Structure 1
Amino acid sequence: MAVGRPGRSLTLRALLPNAITAAALAAGLTGIRFAIAGEWHLAVYAIILAGFLDGIDGRIARLLKAQSRFGAELDSLADSLSFGVAPALILYLWSIQDLPRLGWFASLAFAICAALRLARFNAQIDTDDQPHKSAGFLTGVPAPVGAGLAFLPFYLWMATDMAEFRNPVFVSIWLAAVGVLMISNIATFSWKSIRPRRSIRLEVIAVFALAFGALLQEPWWTLAAICAIYLALMPWALIKYGRIKRQRQAA
């Protein structure tokens, strides 16, 4: 009897990044389940957890030298569901279902914009001519950040208990606006472009530690403050990228 060739085994090093991506996908979909049950804070926590997992899977893949085309495609699929479909449905169920037509179109717009942004990102992976990327910037608001910004009315509602932040018209307009920011061509900061001076490294560490403590003590105010800081930094990113662009043209 002929003996077949033993199959190739997979190492934990190759599986770990994709397993983390799958966990992020599970967290995003579980957020929808919590929203259906009316457990809004758990739904948002699930999306935040998905964002954390999405932030580390790529770094772990590079650290372990386990990058693959399969992993990149899985990551984009997970991002589309966790940061496009899930936030749109959660916010629809939380507030904007009171506007069946306008609210649903706002949810559709956000989910579609997230998918389009991720499709653009995949299409440009092998493209050399990427002015924003070469300067250390991103094009448009990343999908995980867009999901975080989309929940800003919810953060404020949880922090203040003011019904105005749950107004379906306000939430619909805000959700659609964040979707537009995701597919826009504006330069936004990436982790690579934020490089604090070595002389203030201890102060930066202290700020991160305080922010983490604030997140534990006052999660909703802290998340709202993070969104406000990111929005405030967007004009600075445009100015900084414009300066780099002019320097390149002069050179």
Structure 2
Amino acid sequence: MWPFATYETSARRRSPRLREIPLRLILPNLVTVLSICAGLSGIRLAFEDRFEIAVALVLLAACLDALDGRLARMLKASSPFGAQMDSLADIMNFGVAPALVLYAFVLNSAGAFGWTAALVFAIACCLRLARFNVMLDDPDRPAWQNDYFVGVPAPAGALLVLMPVYLGLIGVPVNQTFGFISAAFTIFVALLLVSQLPVYSGKSSGMRVRRDLVLPLILAIVGYVALLFSYTWTTLALTAAAYFLMLPFSVRAYGRRAAQAEHETAVDEASGSAA
């Protein structure tokens, strides 16, 4: 008798005629498992003082974690099993792995306060992901609000919270003072995760690029990737700083959209009353 449980792609009972699972249904889950392996390996390497590779693996885990859902939709391989796996991987790769790598690099110099900051960030990431999953099932949420996250998304939080590591690898002295500053910064990022701050998602279905801007955009992306390979930690630090600078513009854009939606609703109600 085969000792392993049958792989189920849905909550429904498996058809007796379906004895084999198509490979395309397994690929997204395989990517999810690889992302967990990368995140856990990053933690191990961080505690072995191999921080450059550790951070690279944590960022790779975040990229793979963002890829698996898109791969599942592209291959039409979404399943309840894959959704549960993805949620668990998100907690590991966006919450636990960055917090432990950061603790091994600098937060341990802040003692109990540093460990508390790491715990707060990991728990905040769990809460952020749980809230995101609940909001996906909210039928009353206006469609235009799908262009915005509520709070900083977990992948961006992982990128931001590792800024002390980027600065340390650039050459900023890693001492006790830097440890306490990093712990306070970690708690600040954790608060951004669970806040009500509207953050532009970049997933607007109406996004278009003017034809005359296509080639400059491609060159800009190539230039960014080249800088990322040549000046990795400086580029990541500047990227995190640019994300922070983007947040006020996101809040202002959300306010304008909310005011516009409220005005349109008032006009519709007035028209309905007149009719």
Answering whether residue 218 of structure 2 is matched by residue 216 of structure 1, we say no
Q: Secondary structure at the match of 2:138?
A: coil
Q: Could you say what secondary structure the match of 2:199 adopts? A: strand
Which letter does structure 2 place at the counterpart of 1:181?
A: L
Deviations 1:194-251 (A, max 9, x none): 9354142222111111000001110011111111111111111111111111000000
Shift of 1:164: 6.3
Q: Letter of the 1:220 partner, please give it.
A: W
- Distance change (3 Å), C-alpha of 1:186 and 1:40: same
Q: Which moved more, 1:60-69 or 1:155-164?
A: 155-164
Please give the residue correspondences for 1:43-54 in structure 2 after superposition, counting only pairs within 5 Å. Answer: 43-54=54-65
Distance 1:49 1:170, change over 3 A: same
Task: Tell which structure's C-alpha radius of gyration is larger.
Answer: 2
Q: CA deviation at 1:161?
A: 4.0
Q: 1:245 aligns with which of 236, 258, 266?
A: 258
2:120 paired residue among 87, 98, 109: 109
Q: TM-score, normalised by structure 1?
A: 0.92
Equivalent of 2:103, from 78, 87, 92?
Answer: 92
Q: What one-letter code is carried by the residue in structure 2 that aligns with 1:126?
A: D
Matched, 1:126 2:122: no
Q: Which runs of 4+ in 1 moved over 6 A?
A: none
**Alpha-carbon distance in structure 2 between the residues aligned to 1:33 and 1:166:** 25
Whether the 8 Å contact between 1:83 and 1:146 is mirrored in structure 2 is yes
**Alpha-carbon contact 1:154-1:166 (below 8 Å) kept:** no
Question: What's 2:11 paired with?
Answer: none
Rounded to whole Å, the distance in 2 between the matches of 1:6 and 1:59 is: 29
**Cα displacement (A) at 1:133:** 6.3
SS at match of 1:188: strand
Task: Quickly say closer, same or farther: Cα 1:174–1:131, change in 2 above 3 A.
Answer: farther
- Please, what is the CA RMSD of the aligned residues? 1.9
- 1:234 match: 247
Secondary structure (helix, strand or coil) at the match of 1:106 reads helix
Asked whether the equivalents of residues 132 and 138 of structure 1 are also in contact (C-alpha less than 8 Å), the reply is no
Gaps of 5+ in 2: 1-15, 265-275
Counterpart among 170, 178, 182 of residue 193 in structure 2: 182
Local SS of the residue matching 2:49: coil
Checking the alignment, whether the CA contact within 8 Å between 1:135 and 1:244 is kept in structure 2 is no
Aligned residues: 247
Aligned 8 A contact 1:28 1:86 in 2: yes
* Deviation per residue, 1:24-75 (Å, 9 max, x gap): 1111111110011111111101111011111211111111111122212211
Contact 1:132 1:139 in 2 (8 A): no
Distance 1:66 1:166, change over 3 A: farther
Cross-structure match for 1:81: 92
Q: Is the 8 A contact 1:32 1:90 kept in 2?
A: yes
1:36 aligns with 2:47: yes
TM-score by length of 2: 0.84
CA distance in 1, matches of 2:168, 2:258: 40
Corresponding residue for residue 201 of structure 1: 214
Uncovered stretches (5+) of structure 1, i.e. residues with no partner: none
Cα distance change on mapping 1:133 and 1:180 into 2, 3 Å: farther
Equivalent residue letter for 1:212: V
Tell whether the 8 Å contact from 1:84 to 1:112 is kept in structure 2 after alignment.
Answer: yes
CA–CA separation in structure 1 for the residues paired with 2:227 and 2:255: 34
